[in-house]
Structure 1
Amino acid sequence: MRVFVTGATGFIGSAVVDNLLAAGHQVLGLARTDAAAAQLAERGAAAHHGSLQDLGSLQAGADACDGVIHTAFIHDFGDYQANCEIDRHAIAAMAQALRGSARRLVVTSGTIVAGGKVALESQAAPQTGAVPRAASEAAAAQAVAEGADVVLVRLPPSVHDAGDHGFVPHLIRLARERGVSAYIGDGFNRWPAVHRRDAAALFRLALERGQRGARYHGAADSGVPFRDIASLIGRHLQVPVKALQDDAVHGHFGWFAHFAGVDNPCSSTWTRAQLGWQPTHPGLLTDLDQPHYFQD
C-alpha cells in the first residue's frame, strides 16, 4: 500500500514512517521544506511538498495514495484553538479526496475525553473547550457521515522516547527553572502513556485492520500517577518534590496547569483485542529513568 503521512518528519510521524516501511508499505511524506524532503529520502520515503494550511497540497497527497495517516499538528498552545481549527480543515480536505472509496484516513486525537473517568474507545469526545482535540474528532465524525472511511487514534498526554519534546520535557524544564519538581494536590491524578514506537505500530494497524468510524486508544500505560512522574524528575535533577495548592499551581505551571492536573485514566483493552496491538517497548517511568531525558 502507498501511504500518505502528514507530520512525517516529526517525533511521532517519523516512527510511523519507519514502521510502515518495515512492514513493506511505500510512504509519501508531507514535507514543508527541502530539508524535510531530504530527511524522508534518507529514510526511504518519497516527499510531497505542502503544509497543513495548504489544503490543495493535502488533497493531492491523499489522492495519490491508497491511505492516509495524519499525525501533523501545530503544537502552539499560545493559539491552540486556532490550530485546532486548522486541523479540522486539514482533515476535511483529505477526507474529501478519499470520499466514496475504500481508502482510509487515520486521524490523530487525544485520550482526554472522560473527565476523570476511565476513557473508553466507545466514548465520543464532548464538543467543548475542555477537550483539547474536540475539533479534530468532530471533523472525523463529519467525514464518516459524508461517506469517508475515517478512524481515530487517540494518543495519551505522554508519547515518550529519546527525542521527546512534549509534555514530560516541559515538566523537566519547569523543575530546572523553578528548583522544584511539583505536582498538584495529592498527585494521584493519572496520565496514560505510550512509547512512540508502540504508537507507530498502532497507527499502521488502524490503517490495515481498523473499522470505519472506530476510535482506538494508544495507551500502553493506562494511568501513571502524576506524583510518580514528578518524584522521578526530582530524583534525577536532585531538586525537592513538592505538592502545590491554589494560586501556587498557576505560579509554577502557568498555561500547563490544566494538563498537570488532568486525571485521564484510559483503557486500551478493546483496541488490543480488535487490532492485535501489543506494546513491547518500555513504559513511561522506565523510559523516563534513562539519561536521555535529562541531558541538557
Structure 2
Amino acid sequence: MVKIFLTGASGYIGGDVLRGLAGKHPEYEISALNRDPAKASQILEQFPSVKIVSGDLDDVSLLESEVAEADIVLLYWVQVSGASALATPEIASETFGEPSDKTYNDLDGVEEIKALIQEYPSRAVDNYMLKVAASSPQVRTAVVFPPIIYGVGGGPCHQRSVQVPELARFTIERGKGAQVGRGLNRWANVHIHDLSDLFALLVEKAVQGGDEGKVWNSNGIYFCGSGGEMTFGEISEEVAKSAYEQGLVKTAAIDQLKPGEADAIFLHASVMLGTNARCEGTRAKEVLGWKPQQGGLRAEIPKIVSQEADALKAKK
C-alpha cells in the first residue's frame, strides 16, 4: 500500500492534485493535512477514503510524524513554487510591462535556473529545496514551478485561480480593461488538470523507481508551460473584449497602469501581471511522458470572464 501525505487539499492546486490522484489511484492511501473542520467535511464528502490529519504547518511534531509514516510527501508550500521565480531580476529592478527574449529550459538549462534562484536569497523556500537536493540525495525531491494556471479546479473547496480571474474581476468592477505598463511581458500557461497530471506522473515515478538522476534532486526542477505564451497585453485585450461582448463593460479599451496603481487594485498585481515568466515543461515531457490535454488559455478567457461576473452578482 502506497502511503501519501498531502498538504493544501483545500486549495486550488492541492485540491485538484488530490482529485487526480484519488481518481487515478484509488489504491493509494492518502492523508491530507487540514485545520478547518468545515473544509475537512468538504474534503471527506468528495473523497471519503482520504484520512484527515487535523493540524497545520506550524505543528512540527505532527508533520514529522506524518512524514515519517508516508512513502511520498506532497507539500504544497515547499514543492510548488511559481514561475515568478524567473522574474526575480525584474522585480528587483522594478521593471514591469516590458518584453524579454529570455526563455528558460528546465531540461538543458538546470544549472542556469539554480544559479538564478541562488542569486536571490529572497527565494527562501526554493533555495532551501536546492540545499536539500544537494545535501540529502537519499531523499528524492522535485519542485514544480507553475506559470499562469487557468481552468476550474476539481477540488472540494477552492476552484478558482488568481491571475486571469483577478484581471477579469477588476476589469468588470472598474468598467474598463487594464494592463501594467506596455503589457509586452509574456507568461507561459497551463490548465489546472494538466498540472495535476504532472504531479500524478511524479508520484507514479516515485512509486516505480528508476531514472533517478533524470527525475529527482539536482535535476528535479519542473516547469509546466503547456505550449503557447501570451503577453499580458494580449490577455488584457481578450478579457476586455469578452467583458464587452458579454455586456459587462461599455468599452473594450485598455488603460495602461503604473505598477503602484495596479497593486492598489489587488495585491502584487504588478508582479503577477507585469513580469515575464517564459518557460515550457520540457523535462516533464521528456522524462515523465507528460502530455497536456486541455485547451489553451485564450479559448478559456470568455468562460473566466463569465464566471467572475456571476461571482460578483452573487455577492450583491
Q: TM-score range by the shorter chain?
A: 0.7 to 0.9
Would you say 1:241 and 2:253 are equivalent positions? yes
Give me the CA root mean square deviation.
Answer: 2.2
Give the distance between the partners of 1:28 and 1:66, measured in 2 at CA. Answer: 11
In the TM superposition, 1:126-137 aligns within 5 A as 126-127=117-118, 134-137=123-126
In the TM superposition, 1:38-53 aligns within 5 A as 38-42=41-45, 43=47, 44-53=49-58
Q: What is the aligned-residue identity percentage?
A: 24
Q: Deviations over 1:22-67 (max 9, x none)?
A: 2222211111122222222221311111112222222222122110
Unaligned runs of 5+ in 1: 74-90, 92-106
1:268 is matched with which residue? 281
Give the distance between the partners of 1:36 and 1:61, measured in 2 at CA. Answer: 20
Larger Rg: 2
1:284 is matched with which residue? 297
Would you say 1:28 and 2:31 are equivalent positions? yes
Q: Normalising by the residue count of structure 1, what TM-score does the alignment of the two structures yield?
A: 0.79
SS in 2 for 1:285: helix
C-alpha contact (below 8 Å) 2:121/2:127 kept by paired residues: no
Give the distance between the partners of 2:17 and 2:235, measured in 1 at CA. Answer: 26
1:81 is matched with which residue? none
1:229 is matched with which residue? 235
Would you say 1:138 and 2:127 are equivalent positions? yes
C-alpha contact (below 8 Å) 2:188/2:227 kept by paired residues: yes
Match of 1:111 among 71, 75, 83: 83
C-alpha contact (below 8 Å) 1:253/1:260 kept by paired residues: no
Residues 130 and 256 from structure 1, CA distance in 2 versus in 1: closer, same or farther, beyond 3 angstroms? farther
Q: Normalising by the residue count of structure 2, what TM-score does the alignment of the two structures yield?
A: 0.75
Residues 145 and 282 from structure 1, CA distance in 2 versus in 1: closer, same or farther, beyond 3 angstroms? same
Query: Is the strand fraction higher in 1 or 2?
Result: 1
Residues 166 and 26 from structure 1, CA distance in 2 versus in 1: closer, same or farther, beyond 3 angstroms? same
Query: Is the helix fraction higher in 1 or 2?
Result: 2
Unaligned runs of 5+ in 2: 88-99, 154-158, 207-214, 245-250
Give the distance between the partners of 2:120 and 2:167, measured in 1 at CA. Answer: 23
| Residue 130 (structure 1) shift | 9.4
C-alpha contact (below 8 Å) 2:86/2:276 kept by paired residues: no
Give the distance between the partners of 2:225 and 2:301, measured in 1 at CA. Answer: 16
2:63 is matched with which residue? 58
Aligned residues: 259
